[in-house]
Amino acid sequence: MTIMRFASLFLLTLASVLPARAQSAAYTWIPVLPEGPVYVVPVEGMIDNGLASYLDRALSDAEKAGAAAVIFHVDTFGGLVDAADQIRKAILDAPMVTIAFINKNAASAGALISYAADRIVMVPGASIGAATVVEGVGGEAAPDKYQSYMRGLMRSTAEANGKNPDIAEAMVDEELEVPGISPSGQVLTLSATEALEFGVADAVIDNMDRLKEALELTDDRIVNHNATRLEATLRFFGSPVVQSILMLMMLGGLYFELQTPGVGFPGLMALIGAALFFGPHYILGLVESWELILFVLGVGLLLVELFVFPGFGIAGLSGLALVVFSLGVSLIGNVGLDFPSLEAVGSAVWTLAITMVLLVVMLVMGARWLPQSSRFNQLVLAPELGSAAGFTSAATDDTLNGQVGKALTTLRPAGIAMINDRRIDVMTAGEYIEKGADIRVVRVRGSRVEVREITVPS
């Protein structure tokens, strides 16, 4: 009887505990939200400086409005490390509750941003991880110093929000083994179910509407925050690919303009490229006045080298150095002379390096193929148009050679003669020939018909 009572008591206790644990697993992730609006902010596409600038404004607007929380709608394959680090800091410093809602991708720099939020919620089928730093356009892993920097960012961000730092670091370092989670030799990427199991995600919820229901949010509290058209345009021109194209326009146009002095099509392209490159960066706060001054000064020194001191000496080298340096620093989000660490500006260095390589290739190909192009020769004169190359001002009438005629006007030395019943403009080698004198054609070259007086021996 005692055994039966003990068994019954055990079953009742177990039955009462299990629902409580299930309920806890389902609801303890939900933060206590104070009164106030809840902002929904998109974090989509490539993570770049334009997105960082927009998210700064979004968080500032939310703070001014007394927002209770900000939900970041994350769907990105990553982007620039320095831009992601700027966003990470802004989210960590945000005074309101922050929630990263991953639908469907939070790869690379997107994983770093998601870790910065107070809560991570994923939809079924979403993934997070693969935060290895890559370089260039080939996707090769960057040197270890860049990986070390990213590992530190992931680890410290995970620690700041009470998540397992080893898992976060394994998303960067393929050599790091996390027992039972990530074997050595592969970069860690977690599905939504795995992320929930290992404590990376706080919940898996079907969609945004279900998330609002879980947070007990009514529609009147939701503020859908979006980038303005201007911000979207600036973000487009601020993307690394477009930056590289605009720099090619600037440098290539400047080079060809210096080769053919005067304001022409290459110079116009250089001006347009400079305006589209520096304008958006200046508005985004990535370019400061002194960087623009350095660029203008560099171009000025190149012009001085061209028009004042022909050749390529100190002025030309200094101008080229200032132009390249100003372009490099304009890609970095510095404040005055306070620059981020070398690891954080790696993407800017690679953008500039790739642009310089493409510029050299473009100039070499242009110097080799453009002079042979008929369309190019319609815009630029050939360096020499001599008769040896087959160029003449008019067709040569060889049938006139040796023909005789009569001077219709006085030749001093040019005039008109009648040859084979044709009035022809002729000229002498310098002698004076009276009107009516007999003449003989001694040389024909293009439109120049040279004659000599026929003298009768006395």
pLDDT tens, residue by residue, 385-407: 555 555 555 667 778 888 899 99
- 140, pLDDT greater than 50: yes
**Dist CA 46 CA 66 (whole Å):** 29
Q: Are strands 404-407 and 438-445 parallel, antiparallel or unpaired?
A: antiparallel
Query: DSSP readout, 206-264?
Result: SSHHHHHHHTT--GGGEEE----HHHHHHHHHTSHHHHHHHHHHHHHHHHHHHHS-SS-
- 42, pLDDT greater than 80: yes
Q: Which two tokens stand for residue 384?
A: 């020499």
Residues 6 or more apart in contact with residue 91 via CB below 8 angstroms:
55, 59, 72, 98, 113, 116, 117
Q: What is the DSSP letter of 394?
A: S
For residue 16, what pLDDT is reported?
38
CA nearest 84: which of 153, 173, 148?
153
For residue 269, what pLDDT is reported?
83
For residue 21, what pLDDT is reported?
34
Q: Which two tokens stand for residue 298?
A: 């560099």
Domain boundary assignment for the chain = 29-227, 237-378, 398-453
pLDDT band at residue 89 using 50, 70 and 90 as cut-offs: very high
Mean pLDDT, rounded, for 295-313: 74
Count of C-beta atoms within a 10 Å radius of residue 16: 9
Cα–Cα distances in angstroms (integers) from residue 149 to residues 70, 78, 112, 142, in the given order: 28, 16, 12, 11
Count of C-beta atoms within a 10 Å radius of residue 51: 28
CATH number of 29-227: 3.90.226.10
- 196, pLDDT greater than 90: yes
Q: Which two tokens stand for residue 114?
A: 């998601």
Lowest mean per-residue pLDDT among 11-15, 184-188, 190-194: 11-15
Between 64 and 145, the more confident residue is: 64
CA nearest 416: which of 442, 402, 436?
436
CA nearest 110: which of 177, 55, 40, 148?
55
pLDDT more than 70, % of the chain: 74
Q: At what angle do helices 81-92 and 346-369 cross, to 10 degrees?
A: 150
φ, ψ for residue 102, nearest 5 deg: -90, 115
Mean pLDDT, rounded, for 305-332: 73
For residue 306, what pLDDT is reported?
67
pLDDT more than 90, % of the chain: 32
Q: At what angle do helices 289-307 and 240-259 cross, to 10 degrees?
A: 20
For residue 26, what pLDDT is reported?
46
For residue 390, what pLDDT is reported?
54
Nearest 10 degrees: CA dihedral of 279, 280, 285, 286?
A: -90
Lowest mean per-residue pLDDT among 43-52, 215-224, 248-257, 378-387: 378-387
- 59, pLDDT greater than 50: yes
CATH topology of domain 398-453: OB fold (Dihydrolipoamide Acetyltransferase, E2P) (2.40.50)
